[in-house]
Structures are given as structure tokens and as C-alpha cells.
Amino acid sequence: MEDYIIKIFKESNRVKDIFINENLGNLVNVIEAITATLKAGNKILLFGNGGSAADAQHLAAEFVNRFNIERPPLPAIALTTDTSIITSIGNDYDFSEIFSKQIRAIGQPGDIAWGISTSGNSTNVLKGLEMAKKMELITVAFTGKEGGDIAKVVDYSINVSSNSTARIQEAHITAGHVICELVDIKLFQKPDFK
């Protein structure tokens, strides 16, 4: 059993090494975009399904509460948390509309719409990002595999080149933490790095 555990950790590390080599510049661009969005007084809307919904909630909490440093709360909303809204839209319209309708209701030009989909093809995430583009929000996607249809429609695509949902999610949350930490530093600690 120990060998199998070690194998899983090594695979997670391998996927993250490939990920950072493929996405370093993309991460810098997302950090810059989020920092500019928050400086301008806009907000971040995060969304996904299943584990990606949990990641959306997790990252929204890091922005609203705090990450590593004491600082004012930052405006971020996980569109995955209001079961009344989600079930109402799913029942009265269609599950594929649960994010796009929320973005229509509360999204404003200049906000960030950040969709998360390990397959890159979640229909409701895709429709949410398409609506965000139409409304002139800045769009960010965390995807896996080949990036799917979602990677093709967003302003900033962060993709994990893996077919393992678990490994994709591990890289997504690490990248999310990196974004949270660097946004905090750029907004509140005025670093020397660019």
C-alpha cells in the first residue's frame, strides 16, 4: 500500500510540473487581470460542478475572508452555493442555465467570471462564460484534458493537461491558491517584482 500512496503523490507532482511549464505566463496574466478588476471595484464570480463547485466556494472564501495576510475582504461570490436559486432555475428552465442566469442577474462589465470544469465541456459552465462574454465580463477558465469547448471561449485559459480528474483538481486548487496569494501581495504589500 505504501508504494501505491507514493505513486499517487509522484503522479500529482508530475502533473503539477507539466502544468506550471505550460501555464506560468497564463497564471501571471490571470493574477494581473484579477488584481486590476479588484482595484477597479469589481467582483469575481466563480462557478463549477461537483468538486469544481467546491473549489469555486473554497476560492471565493479565500478572497472574501482572507488568505495568508490580514487585509480587507475582497468581493467574490461562488454561484454554486444558493440551492434555492440553483434548483429554481434547474426546475423552471434547465440545469444548463444555472450559472448564465445568475451572471445575467448580478454580473457587471469589468467583473471576472471564473468557470471551473475538469473536462472543459460542462454545458452550464460554458453557457455561463458565454453569457459573461456577451455582457463584457472578463472570463477565466480552469479546465483539464485538452481544455474542451470552454478553453476556446474565454479570455484566460488555465488548463491541466491530464485525464485524471483528481490530478486536475489538485493542480486547480494549487493554482487557485497561487492566485489568491499573489493578488494579496500585489494589492496590499506592494512587491518589487512585476
pLDDT digits (tens, 9 = 90+) for 24-73: 999 999 999 999 999 999 999 999 999 999 999 999 999 999 999 999 99
Among 98, 50, 45, 43, CA closest to 74: 43
Name beta bridge partners: 44.
76, 112
- Alpha-carbon span 144 to 49, nearest angstrom: 14
d(CA 12, CA 81): 28
Please report which confidence band the pLDDT of residue 100 belongs to, taking 50, 70 and 90 as the band edges: very high
| Helix H or strand E encompassing 166 | helix 165-184
In this predicted model, what pLDDT tens digit does every residue of 86-96 receive, in sequence order? 999 999 999 99
Using pLDDT thresholds of 50, 70 and 90, give the confidence band for residue 193.
low
- Contacts with 52 (C-beta within 8 Å, 6 or more apart), sequence order: 116, 117, 118, 122, 125, 142, 169, 172
Domains within the chain, CATH numbers bracketed: 34-172 (3.40.50.10490)
Average pLDDT over all residues of the chain: 96
pLDDT of residue 15: 96
pLDDT of residue 139: 98
Q: Beta strands 76-78 and 156-160: pairing type?
A: unpaired
Rounded to two decimals, the pTM is 0.95
Cα 174–176–178 angle (5° rounding)?
70
Is residue 194 scored above 90 in pLDDT?
A: no
CB 121 within 8 A of CB 150: yes
Cα 188 to Cα 69: distance, rounded to the nearest angstrom: 9
The answer on pLDDT for 84 being more than 70 is: yes
Span 115-121, average pLDDT: 97
